[in-house]
Structure 1
Amino acid sequence: MKKISLFMLVGFLALVIAACGNSNEDNGAKKDEKLEAIDAKLDVPEKGEKGEPVSLSTKVTKGDENVDDAGEVKYEIWKNGHKDESEMIEAKHEKGGLYKAEKTFQEDGLYTVQVHVTARDMHTMPKTEIAIGEVGAGEHEEAGEDHHHGDHESTVSIHLMKPDSITAGEEAEMKVHVENKEAALEDARVRFEIYQDGQEKHEWVDLTPDEAGKYSGSYTFPEKGSYNVQVHVTKGEEIHEHSMETVDVQ
C-alpha cells in the first residue's frame, strides 16, 4: 500500500509541475502577443486637385494579423501654417484591416494628413503631406523648415480619446495621447479647458500621467448639449500646444 501511495503521489506531483510549465508558457505567449505593437500604413497621394475628392486609406495590422476591430480611425487634416483649423474625418472599415475616407480640398496649397488609430489598447498616428493644385515655392520651404527645426505643427500631436457616448450628470473618463517628434511626450502638464459657446466661465481639469505619453482625467458634464474640450499641453518653455474638439453630451 505504501509503495502504491508513493507512486501515486509522485505521479500527481509530475502532473502538477507539467501543468504549471504549460501555464507559464501560455502566459508568456500571451504576454508577448500583447506587447506586439499595432502598425498603421497611411496611403495618401502626393498630389491632388482642388474640388476633386481624394482617397485616404490606412492599413492597420498587428504582426501578421489584419486589425478589423479598431476602436477609432480618424484623419486629421490641416493646411500647413493653420493647424488650429484642422478638420477631423471619420474613416470606415472596408475589409482586411483597411480603413478609408475621402476629402475634397477647396483651396490650393500644401496640407498635412495625420491618421489617428486606436486599437487593441494602443495608439499610433503617422502623417504625411499632400500638395493640392498650385503650391508656391515658399510653402515647400516652410514645410522643410518645420520638419528640420521642430515647428509645433510637425512635432507635437495631441489626440483626445473619449467614450462613444457621454451622459449629463455622469462622470466621463477621458484620455489624451501626446507625441513630440513622433515619440511619447512624458512629464508634461496636460489640462482640459471645458466650456460651451457663449459661456463666460470655463472649467479646468488637470490630467494625471499614465503610461508613456498618455494622460487621463474625468469630468461630469452638468447638462445636455455641445461642449468645447480644449486640450492644453505644456512642458518647460519650449512646448505650449493646444487642440480643440467638440463633445456632444446626451
Structure 2
Amino acid sequence: MKQYIAALAVALALMAAGCGSQEEAAPSASPVEVALALAPKEPVAGEAITFAVTVTQDGAPVNDARSVEFELWKDGQEQHEMIPAALEKDGVYTAQKTFAEPGSYYVMYHVTARDFHNMQKHPFTVRAAGGGEPASQPAEHAAGAPDGRDSGQAADHEHGGEHGANHRHTSGVDYHFQPADTLTANEADALTVRLTKDNQPLAKAAVRFEYWRAGEERHQFVDAAETQPGVYGASVTLPASGDYTVNVHVEKDETIHDHKEYTLHVR
C-alpha cells in the first residue's frame, strides 16, 4: 500500500511538472518590437556601415527570428538591394554594407518572428569622404522628421531596375514588386508583390495581376493569393518573348482602390 501511494505521488508530481512546462512554452500574444540603429551614425562613402535591429517580445530578446533582412536603395533610384542579417547577440541582428557614392538613402528592415512581420522604412545620409553634404535629401529630411527617422508616411518606390514604372499612386499604398529573376516564355513564372500602408503590411486585400504584351489589346487577369500578411503572389505563363506590362490592382474595403504598372521583359 505504501509503495502504491509513493508511486502515485511521483506520478502526480511528474504530471504537475509537465503542465508547468507546457504553460511556460505557450507562445506570447504580445507583438514583436523592433528598434533600428546604424553605426556609425554619420556614415561616410567608402566605409562599411553596420545596420542593426534589436528584436524583443515582452522585453526579452528574440533569438529565433525566422527571417531578418535589410532592404536598401538610393533616393530617386528604382533598384533595391536585399541583404540578410545574422544574429550577433541576444536579440540583435546585424548586416554590413559599403556605399561607394555619397547621397540620400533609405533602409527598410523586414523582420519575421513568432508569427509577426515587422517592416519600417528609415532615411539616412551617406556623406562624402571629405565631409561634404549630399546634393539632395530624402523627403523625410526635407519635412523635418525628428532624428532622421521615417515620418510614417508611405512613399512611392519600386523593386528591380528594369521592372519599375513611373506610375504614381495616391492611396498611400507602398508597392514592392518582385517578379522572378528570369522570365521565360511558355513557362510558369512567379509574380509577387509586398504591400504596405503607413509602414504596416496591407493584409486581407483583394489583389489581381493584369498583364498584356506590348502592342496587344487583349489583357489577361490572375488573382493573387496572400502568402503572408501583406505579401501576395501568383503564377503566370507568358505565351511569347518580348516586353509585357503588369498592372497590380489592389482593393480593400471602400477606402483603397489602387493600381500600379510595371514593365517585364520575357525571354
Distance 1:237 1:182, change over 3 A: closer
- Number of residues paired by the alignment? 193
Distance 1:70 1:130, change over 3 A: same
Residue type of the alignment partner of 2:48: P
Instruction: Note if 1:114 corresponds to 2:108.
Output: yes
- Specify the alignment match of 2:142 in structure 1: 144
How far apart in 2 are the matches of 1:104 and 1:233?
36
Instruction: Note if 1:124 corresponds to 2:123.
Output: no
1:198-245 CA-partner distances (Å, limit 9, x unpaired): xxxxx975223578x535556499xxxxxxxx994634887435799x
Instruction: Note if 1:206 corresponds to 2:205.
Output: no
- Specify the alignment match of 2:98 in structure 1: 104
Q: Following superposition of structure 1 onto structure 2, how do residues 1-150 of structure 1 map, counting pairs within 5 Å?
A: 30=26, 33-45=27-39, 46-82=41-77, 84-133=78-127, 134-136=133-135, 138-140=136-138, 143-144=141-142
Gaps of 5+ in 1: 1-22, 162-170, 195-202, 222-229, 245-250
How far apart in 1 are the matches of 2:177 and 2:189?
13
Please give the root-mean-square deviation of Cα atoms over the aligned residues, in Å. 4.4
- Specify the alignment match of 2:250 in structure 1: 234
Residue of 145, 158, 183 corresponding to 2:200: 183
How far apart in 1 are the matches of 2:201 and 2:32?
15
Residue range with higher mean Cα deviation, 95-104 or 59-68: 59-68
How far apart in 2 are the matches of 1:237 and 1:156?
8
How far apart in 1 are the matches of 2:205 and 2:173?
12
Percent identity of paired positions between Structure 1 and Structure 2: 29
Q: Secondary structure at the match of 2:142?
A: helix
1:11-39 CA-partner distances (Å, limit 9, x unpaired): xxxxxxxxxxxx9xx88x94xx4421111
Q: Secondary structure at the match of 2:108?
A: strand
Shift in Å, 1:102: 0.5
Gaps of 5+ in 2: 1-18, 128-132, 144-149, 159-171, 179-187, 212-219, 238-245
Residue type of the alignment partner of 1:181: D
How far apart in 1 are the matches of 2:236 and 2:29?
33
Which structure has the highest helix share of the two? 1
Shift in Å, 1:121: 1.7
